[in-house]
Amino acid sequence: MVNFIIPENIAISESGFLFLAGTGETFTLNQIGKEIFNLIRSKSSEEEIINSIVNDYDIDKATAHKDFADFISQLKHYSILKEA
């Protein structure tokens, strides 16, 4: 299991608007992205996050796993998320 770290200079609004205080960059998350981000922030495991996506959005586990992996890759690319 991989643990993730969200840098302290990242702020998120209720609507899913991400702000990187260090660079001034902004990003907008969709509903699923916002849920994943908040679950990561609350220290949920990858399996817990995937199960939550499957249950909340009525998609199969393989699709949820792929979507999760793609989203994590994007977050790491923009330095919004780091592996612990």
pTM of the model: 0.86
The domain segmentation of the chain, as residue ranges, is 30-84
- The bridge status of strand 17-20 relative to strand 10-12 is antiparallel
pLDDT tens digits along 22-38: 889 999 999 999 999 99
Averaged confidence pLDDT in the chain? 91
Q: What is the mean pLDDT of residues 43-59?
A: 93
Please count the other Cβ atoms lying within 10 Å of the Cβ belonging to residue 36: 23
Q: How far apart are CA 52 and CA 13, in angstroms?
A: 21
